[in-house]
Each structure stands twice: as C-alpha cells, then as structure tokens.
Structure 1
C-alpha cells in the first residue's frame, strides 16, 4: 500500500501558540481519514503513538505486530494525527512529527476528542470490534471520543506492565479475528 496523498510538505511540531491539529498536512490527513480511508479487516487494535518514529520501532509495537495477524487492523492513536494505520506509519507526516502530549492545551485536547470521535465513527463502519491498549492520557481521550461517537471499544489497561498489557490486548484482537 502506498502513502496517503498528502500534498503539503512541512514540519509538524508542537510549539507555543501553534495548534498542530490545524497544520495543512494534518488537515489533509484528517480529510483523507474521514472520507477515503477504508479497511477490509474486521478487528481494530488501537495502540498509543510513540516518541520514536516510526511507531513500529518501539518495543511495544513490535510485540503487537508480531501477534496481531493480517485480519487485525492496527492503528496508532496520535495527537494530532488521530488514527494512523500501521500501513502508513513510515509515510509523511507520520514518520517525523513531534507533539509531546504534555504540551497539549485544553482547547487542543477538546479538539482531539472531537476529531477522534469522527475518526472512530468512520472506522466503526469497517471494524466489527475494536480493542485498545493505551496509557492514561490516550485512554481518557479515547473513552470520551468513543462515548461521543456511540462506538464501543474494548479498552485494556496499559499499566506499569506495558509489555504484558500489549501482548494480552493483541492476543484478544487476534482471538476476535479468528472467531
């Protein structure tokens, strides 16, 4: 699968006074995600974004990717990208943006919840079941967004034992895919 057709090419970075959700490349991605993205996989697995890019280079993502088979659509939940399918993680702008969650303003958090709610509504058309394993910040955002969208997501605790939590969530997603 190729990369999504993002025309704008510029750094996506969180700095004071700049809302990365309004970056032209990010807005192009959101439009693509809402209107053109589709998946043939019945089950979705939501993972957190990572400081290191691409996401697949992180140990937790490596575990999930090793377990979740081809019937599971793996996404990373990200501010400001919302949902990033595994297939696109090495593409621009997902492979090099920088948005530390601790720098998010309250207005940006509200924007994140609202936009993620739209993304979940779109994704729910393709996935019969959604499983997530997220640390507290992303978990709270997902809980609010899924509630707003009226979409059920089976959320697994991330906790201090992240490797075990990711393994259990990925095994659950794979079990659902085989079921």
Structure 2
C-alpha cells in the first residue's frame, strides 16, 4: 500500500473542520471517534510489512522533517506496494494515508514538554489500549511488523504488544543503542529518532525485513 492515497473525507459528528485543537488529543472525543472509525469501518488492506512511526508536531506528518527523513530511508529499501505506514502516539493510531483526515491534521500538541505525571500516565494507558486494539484487529493483515520509537511511545508499543499478544518483529532503535546514547542532562534524554545512529539501525532493520522469512523467523507463518 505504501503511502497510499491521502484522504480527508471522514468528519466526526459535530466536528468543526479546521478548528485548531490544542488540548491533549488523547482525551478528546474527536480522536476516539476517528479511531473507532478506523478500527471498525475503514477498509484496512493486507500488506507484507507494517511500519509503525510516531506522530509529529508538524502537520501533515509526511511534511515534518523527521517523517521526510524516515520516508526517504524507507523508500531506499522497500517498494511502495510492500509496506503500510501506521502513525501512532498522541493522535492514537492512524494509517498514514489518512493524515489529512480530521482531527489528525488539526491538532498541535507535544507530549515531550508535559511535566504532569498523571497526564503522561493517562497517555500511556490510553495509547497502549488503542494500539492493542489495532494490533488485534490487524493481526492477520501484515506478515511482519517494525516499530521505530523511543521514550513513552516505545513504552506504549511494548505494553500494547503484551496486551494483544501481537509482537513486533523489530522494535527499533535497540535498547543497547538507546542506553549508549542516553544523556540524562538533556531535556529529551533518549535524543531524537533523526540521530544518525538510530537511523542506521532503522535502515538495517528494513533491510532485514526484505530478506525472505525462514521457518524459524518470528514473522514466518504469521498469517
């Protein structure tokens, strides 16, 4: 499916399109309704590889500097028809081709700047649940899965995998690399997913995904 066709057709009941949303998006009913639409009505397609990427502050996601870099790396390794990009994070869970759908193009929020422990814990609980629902719904749609994330987004993904019983074939960057690069004196100790060391691991992981799955590989026989 690759990038697919972006669409902005769906609009939750009572929503005002183009209204800027600045509250924590994971609390808002617009995001829950849009997530339910994706989970229950949107025609998700089978694909070989699902690539889970964290959402970005700049909208649409594909226009953000980080996502442009991620997509460039993906495009160097995979053909568009071989993968599906899934965006997750404070937005919930959304196939990349729906990035222009309300409310995903209409909010501005950065969890990394939040110092309220309760809000961060709420995010982790809500997002782990939504990701688990999505993983369960799509357990037979994708042969292999890779997630590229750090920090609390990584925690949410790990919790969702445990809750759903659907594992990532690769969860990148690897824990040893994250720990080696961690700087506790920085506002964002784990750094940025655009860092060269992380990007190199992401590229290597995608190359690994291109290799045919053998009977002993985690992705073999997933369908």
Which residue of structure 2 lines up, in the alignment, with residue 25 of structure 1? 30
Which residue of structure 2 lines up, in the alignment, with residue 176 of structure 1? 209
TM-score, normalised on structure 2? Answer: 0.67
Matched, 1:36 2:41: yes
In structure 1, which of residues 113, 122, 125 is the aligned counterpart of residue 137 of structure 2? Answer: 122
CA contact (8 A) 1:82 1:116 kept: yes
Report the CA distance between 1:83 and its aligned residue.
1.6
Give the superposed CA RMSD: 2.5
Matched, 1:12 2:12: no
Question: Equivalences for 1:27-106 in 2 at 5 Å?
Answer: 27-37=32-42, 38-68=44-74, 69-70=79-80, 71-79=82-90, 81-101=91-111, 102=114, 104-106=119-121
Unaligned ranges ≥5, structure 1: none
Matched, 1:139 2:154: yes
Which structure has the larger Rg? 2
Residue correspondences, number: 174
Q: Deviations over 1:85-130 (max 9, x none)?
A: 2211123211121332226343343122112211121232311111
TM-score, normalised on structure 1? Answer: 0.82
Greater relative contact order, per chain length (Cα 8 Å cut-off, separation 6+): 1
Secondary structure of the residue aligned to 2:45 is coil
CA contact (8 A) 1:146 1:152 kept: yes
